[in-house]
């Protein structure tokens, strides 16, 4: 039991440190089972369907950024100033420059709630060539002005860059890259059945209940062996 646990721990540790490779499920399926097993013994294989990614052939963008506004603070300051002056020059009220400044600042603070900060936003439209050769479009909004260039392999769900080998690597490229140092011998032919197995198989066939038609008689249910003994026809 201790040896088994140690082996499992070593296997888990090796898998944890194994390199992950991303390959096309179509190219992966074109490999033989021996080739896939050889690659999986050294790598963690992440397969992706061909309809989930493509190659960028064109990219266009537009700047949708909006500037910030400050008119709310200015209007609030003006309203605060006017309100204070109207009140200050009424009977029994004294004018104070400090109080007037406080009213202006308070109005500006209240009015700034109506202002909006500057917002950087860019829209990009990618033309993507699929594995089938069709062209599809993907739109993305982002806060940075940098886009993916043509030629990049793109995940159509996340609109993020994926390894270029995912689009370009066919089964021959996978063999050249991941099997060049591996030795995969021919599959051995299946072993012929042993004499015991052959005998058991023949005995089983002889004991099966079949429909047997003797000459000039109706068919009856019997074993194959008995049907042959009476020269009957197996139906």
**pLDDT of 209-232, one tens digit each?**
777 877 777 776 777 777 777 777
pLDDT given for residue 102 in this prediction: 77
CA distance 205 to 211: 13
Tally the domains of the chain: 3
Burial of 110 (0-12, 13-18, 19+ CB in 10 A): middle
Q: Which pLDDT band holds residue 11 (cuts at 50, 70, 90)?
A: very low
- What per-residue confidence (pLDDT) applies to 123? 95
Predicted local confidence at residue 5, as pLDDT: 52
Q: For residue 188, is it within any domain? A: no
Measured at the CA of 220, the angle between CA 216 and CA 224, to 5 degrees, comes to: 105
- For residue 138, the model assigns a pLDDT of 92
Same domain, 141 and 163: yes
Let me know: does 149 contact 126? Beta carbons within 8 Å: no
pLDDT tens column, 89-126: 666 666 666 676 777 777 777 777 777 788 899 999 99
Check whether residue 58 and residue 124 sit in a common domain. Answer: yes
167 and 205 in a common domain: no
* pLDDT tens digits, one per residue of 30-73: 889 999 898 888 888 888 887 888 899 999 999 998 887 767 77
Inter-residue contact 115 to 72 (CB < 8 Å): yes
In a domain, 183, yes or no: no
Instruction: Give the residue from 114, 129, 145 where a domain finishes.
Output: 114
Q: For all residues of the chain together, what is the average pLDDT? A: 76
Residue 228 lies in a domain: yes
Residue 170 and residue 139 share a domain: yes
Q: Which domain, by its residues, includes 134?
A: 2-62+120-178
- Dist. CA 85–CA 30, nearest whole Å: 85
Whether 143 and 222 map to the same domain: the answer is: no
In a domain, 185, yes or no: no
User: 207 and 107 in one domain?
Assistant: no
**Do 212 and 220 contact (CB within 8 A), yes or no?**
yes
3 state SS for the chain: CHHHHHHHHHHHHHHHCCEEEEEEHHHHHCCCHHHHHHHHCCEEEEEECHHHEEEEEEEEEEECCECCCCHHHHHHHHHHHHHHHHHHCCCCCCCCHHHHHHHHHHHHHHHHHHCCCCECCEEEEEEEECCCCCEEEEEEEECCCCCCCCCCEEECCCCCECCCHHHHCCHHHHHHHHCCCCCCCCCCCCCCCCHHHHHHHHHHHHCCEEEEECCCCCCEEEEHHHHHHCCCEEC
Residue 184: inside a domain: no
Are 34 and 49 members of one domain? yes
Mean pLDDT (whole number) for 69-92: 71
Instruction: Check whether residue 203 and residue 107 sit in a common domain.
Output: no
Q: Is the dihedral of CA 97, 101, 104, 110 positive or negative?
A: negative
Quick one: 42 and 93 in the same domain?
no
Report yes or no: 133 and 152 within 8 Å, Cβ to Cβ.
no
Mean pLDDT in residue range 196-221: 65
Band of pLDDT at residue 8, cut at 50, 70 and 90: very low
Higher pLDDT, 166 or 137: 137
CA 193 from centroid of its chain's CA atoms: 46
Q: Give the predicted TM-score (pTM) of the model.
A: 0.48
Bigger pLDDT: 160 vs 227: 160
């Amino acid at each position: 039991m201790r040896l088994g646990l140690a082996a499992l721990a070593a296997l888990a540790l090796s898998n944890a440190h194994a390199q992950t490779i991303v390959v096309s499920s179509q190219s992966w399926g074109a490999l033989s089972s021996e080739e896939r097993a050889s690659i999986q013994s050294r790598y963690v294989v992440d397969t992706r369907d061909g309809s989930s990614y493509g190659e960028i052939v064109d990219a266009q963008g537009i700047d949708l950024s909006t500037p910030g506004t400050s008119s709310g603070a200015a209007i609030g300051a003006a309203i605060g100033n006017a309100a204070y002056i109207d009140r200050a020059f009424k009977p029994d009220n004294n004018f104070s420059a400090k109080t007037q400044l406080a009213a202006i600042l308070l109005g500006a603070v209240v009015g700034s709630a109506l202002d909006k900060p500057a917002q950087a936003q860019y829209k990009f439209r990618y033309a993507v060539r699929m594995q089938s050769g069709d062209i599809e479009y993907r739109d993305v909004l982002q806060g940075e002005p940098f886009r993916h260039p043509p030629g990049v392999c793109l995940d159509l769900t996340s609109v993020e860059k994926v390894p270029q080998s995912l689009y370009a690597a066919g089964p021959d490229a996978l063999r050249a890259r991941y099997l060049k140092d591996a030795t995969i011998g021919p599959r051995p032919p299946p072993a012929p059945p042993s004499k015991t197995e052959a005998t058991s198989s023949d005995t089983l066939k002889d004991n099966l209940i079949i429909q047997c038609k003797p000459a000039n008689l109706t068919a009856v249910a019997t074993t194959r062996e008995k049907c042959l003994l009476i020269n009957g026809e197996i139906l």
